[in-house]
């Protein structure tokens, strides 16, 4: 493990670790790291713009609205985007002033640990608290603890139900991003070649391991024959 983390001390080394650990193409791994940096930049920009709001919706009354940290945020992430999904959750939590309990996927923890190590280097001790282990051993005590005020989970629908059930007794604020069944629709006036190239990305990006991957394809009869032939040809040209 130490050797892998040392290898990932550069952006290229980190990208190669993501590629090796998840199986995604190196170009996609590089893109994931770039996107992860954007999340932190955007949240930092929003933090600078954050200010108290003064509202006068009721005659004779002035309402002051100010942002306050909610409390500890539990961040639970999957293996298929081991850096960008944690970044998308951790960055806004930090911008809101919330310390984070971070549990990476036990299937692909190393890429996430590089992110955790990087954050630890630049944040006060205890701001990010990363724990590895079996989900139930780690997450159940978190969700039962009074200091944890929000949980953000990305993963399977099955596990999402378990998280929701554990959060329900305390009415814990819960964000669940679960399995999808996204449609891809090709209309009669579509540019068939363009539609094929778009579907190749929508279906096969990240080796198909994406919660927003196209899982149902609806094609108008007028272009169905040409579309299917072109899509099959394009798919057969892919290099796995």
Out of 106, 177, 181, 236, the active site residue is: 177
Question: Has 211 been annotated as catalytic?
Answer: yes
Residue range 24-82, pLDDT digits in tens: 999 999 999 999 999 999 999 988 887 888 888 888 899 988 888 999 999 999 999 99
DSSP state of 177: E
Domain spans, the chain: 2-177, 182-236
Q: Which two tokens stand for residue 164?
A: 């929701």
Cβ neighbours around 10 below 10 Å, total: 9
Residue 156: band (very low, low, confident or very high) from pLDDT cuts 50, 70, 90: very high
Percent of the chain with pLDDT over 70: 97
Average pLDDT, the chain: 93
Q: Which of 89, 81, 86 minimizes the C-alpha distance to 174?
A: 89
Is this prediction's pTM over 0.75? yes
At residue 219, what are phi and psi to the nearest 5 degrees? -120, 130
Catalytic site includes residue 177:
yes
Contact (CB, 8 A) for 191 and 222: no
The arithmetic mean of pLDDT across residues 129-146, rounded, is 94
What per-residue confidence (pLDDT) applies to 3?
Answer: 57
Full DSSP string of 36-59: HHHHHHHHHHHHHH---EEE--ST
Phi-psi region of 126 (alpha: psi -120 to 50; beta: other; left: phi over 0): left
- Which residue, among 72, 68, 190, has the nearest Cα to 131 in the 3D structure? 72
Q: Which of 52, 211, 222, 236 is catalytic?
A: 211
CATH, domain range 2-177: 3.40.605.10
- The pLDDT of residue 2 is above 70: no
- Helix segments in the chain, DSSP class H: 2-7, 11-22, 26-49, 84-95, 109-122, 135-144, 157-167, 192-204, 221-236
């Amino acid at each position: 493990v130490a050797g892998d983390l040392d290898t990932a001390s550069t952006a290229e080394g980190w990208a190669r670790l993501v590629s090796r650990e998840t199986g995604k193409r190196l170009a996609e791994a590089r893109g994931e790291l770039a996107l992860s940096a954007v999340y932190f930049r955007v949240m930092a920009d929003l933090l600078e713009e954050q200010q108290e709001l003064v509202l006068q919706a009721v005659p004779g009354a002035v309402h002051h609205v100010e942002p306050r940290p909610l409390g500890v945020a539990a961040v639970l992430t999957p293996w298929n985007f081991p850096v960008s999904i944690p970044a998308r959750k951790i960055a806004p939590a930090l911008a809101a002033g919330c310390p984070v309990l971070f549990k990476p996927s036990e299937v692909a923890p190393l890429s996430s640990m590089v992110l955790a190590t990087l954050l630890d280097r630049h944040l006060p001790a205890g701001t990010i608290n990363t724990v590895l282990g079996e989900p139930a051993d780690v997450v159940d005590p978190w969700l039962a603890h009074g200091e944890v005020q929000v949980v953000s989970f990305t993963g399977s629908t099955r596990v999402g139900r378990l998280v929701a059930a554990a959060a329900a007794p305390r009415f814990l604020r819960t964000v669940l991003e679960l399995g999808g069944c996204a449609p891809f629709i090709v209309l009669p006036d579509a540019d068939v070649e363009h539609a094929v190239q778009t579907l190749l990305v929508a279906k096969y990006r990240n080796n198909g391991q994406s919660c927003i991957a196209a899982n149902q394809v609806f094609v108008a009869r007028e272009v169905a024959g040409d579309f299917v032939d072109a899509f099959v040809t394009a798919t057969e040209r892919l290099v796995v």
